[in-house]
Amino acid sequence: MNNTDKRILEISYAPLVEYGEAWELQKKAVLAIDSGEQPERLLLLQHPPTYTIGSQNHPEHLLLDSVQLKEKGIALFEIDRGGDITYHGPGQLVGYPLLKLGEESRVDLHGYLRDLEAVIIDYLASYGITGDRKPEYTGVWVGDEKICAIGIKFNKSKFRRGFITSHGFAFNISKGVSNQGFAGIIPCGITEYGVTSLEECTGRTFELEQVARELLPFFLKHFPYSPVGVL
C-alpha cells in the first residue's frame, strides 16, 4: 500500500462479545466492505469462553464431551477459518482485520499471515520479549510456548480482484487464560508445545483495552491505513 494514498481503517474495541455475534458481524462486514458500502475494519474484542474448530476439522482434539462443556460454560463453534481447534476467553485479545487484499498488486496470502505475526512480534519486543515463528506452524511463540494463535479466511471478492480477510489473531494476555480452556483441547493439534501469555512473560498485569491501544501502532506499521474510531 502506498503511504501517500492510505485507505481508511475503522477501528473498534468491545470488552466482551459472544462468538456467534462476532462471527455474524464479520460475515456482514465482509459483504459491505467488498461492495464498497463501508470501509475496511479492525475489530478488537474479547469473547466469553469458546472453542472454535477450523477447516482442518479434528474433533478428536476436543477433550471434553457435551456435558463437560455445559458444566464449564464453554461454547463450541465449527467455523470457516483455516486451522484446527483453539480457545477464546476473557483475558485474551482477539483481533479481526477485515481487509481488502490484492487490489493494487499480486495477492500474497502467506505474506499477510507473516505481517500479522510481525505485529505481535514487534509488540512483544517493546516489552523486551523475544517473540518468534516456528516454520511448521502459524502463530507467534515465546520459546516453545504459543502466545498468539492465527487463523484466517480469505473471502474471494465478488466485485474486484483479490480477497477480503476475516477471522484473525488471538493474543493471550492474562495469566490465567493459558491454564483455562486450553486444558480441554489439544491447541491447534500441537502436543509437543505449551501455551503462555503476556502477563506470564512479563510478570506484569495488563488491561485488555490498554493492550488494544498499545498494539494499534504496531498494526498500522505493517498495515499503513488511516485509522478512524476511538479505543
The residues annotated with a catalytic role in the active site are 188
Cα diameter, the chain: 55
Given a contact cutoff of 8 angstroms between Cβ atoms, the answer to whether 95 and 44 are in contact is yes
Give the distance from CA 33 to its chain's centroid. Answer: 19
For residue 75, the one-letter residue type is A
Grid cell in block for residue 114: 507473516
Q: How many CB atoms lie within 10 A of CB 14?
A: 16
Which residue in this structure is represented by grid cell 500441537?
190
CA distance 94 to 77: 16
11 alpha carbon, distance to own chain's centre: 15
109-125 vs 208-222: helix axis angle to the nearest 10? Answer: 130
